[in-house]
Amino acid sequence: MRVVDSGIVGNGESGATPRARSDCAFTTVSLIDDATLVVCFRRGEGRDYADGLMSTYVSQDLGRTWEAREVDAAGNHLGEPGELRGRSIARLSDGEIVETGLSIDSPQLGQPFVHPETTGLLPMHIVHRRSVDGGRSWGEWKRMDTAASPCSMAVLELADGVLAQPYEC
């Protein structure tokens, strides 16, 4: 491995207050074609603060320049109280893009999803959505029917075209 460049993906713009720029978590990076990188992360005052925003940045020149593609407000992405805490991207062999997210059910945004004393988890779900235009627009989030625990890993496309979703149980 050889480092070819380094720099800053995002500087906390898009309405974030200076304090909301202090913590980035749940970061993933994906290469979706020969030159396009996608970085997803949650930024906020702290890892579990209610001001957290999931952000997506795209580079079409292998990371030399970056464009803010999407910044999610916390809230009802599935029509119920909750928020996304992690996202990752995978490109399928037919060119379609699948995004995986970890949806946490939380009537009070910004709660830690792991209880600090009992280590119990808030209810959570793995969700997916698809894009046919390289991530410029997306379909609706769909919940995966499984008892999921923390996971925002991208789907894997197997040789026969079946999609596999890694997760903890």
Q: Domain with 60 in it: what CATH number?
A: 2.120.10.10
The pLDDT, as a whole number, for residue 132 is 93
Distances (CA, A) of 120 to 48, 112, 149, 150: 15, 10, 11, 12
- Average pLDDT per block of 10 residues along the chain, 169 residues long: 72 52 79 89 74 83 86 64 82 92 72 72 83 87 74 86 84
On the 0-12 / 13-18 / 19+ scale of CB atoms within 10 A, 15 is: exposed
Residue 5 within a domain:
no
User: Which residue matches tokens 């970061």?
Assistant: 27
Largest CA distance in the chain: 47
Tokens linked to 27: 């970061």
- Supply the range of the domain harboring residue 114: 18-164
Q: Work out whether strand 124-131 and strand 97-105 pair parallel, antiparallel, or are unpaired.
A: antiparallel
CA distances from 60 to 82, 132, 163 (A): 32, 17, 26
pLDDT on residue 148: 55
Provide the domain count of the chain: 1
> According to the model, what pLDDT value does residue 111 have?
66
pLDDT of residue 94: 93
Instruction: Specify if 99 maps to a domain.
Output: yes
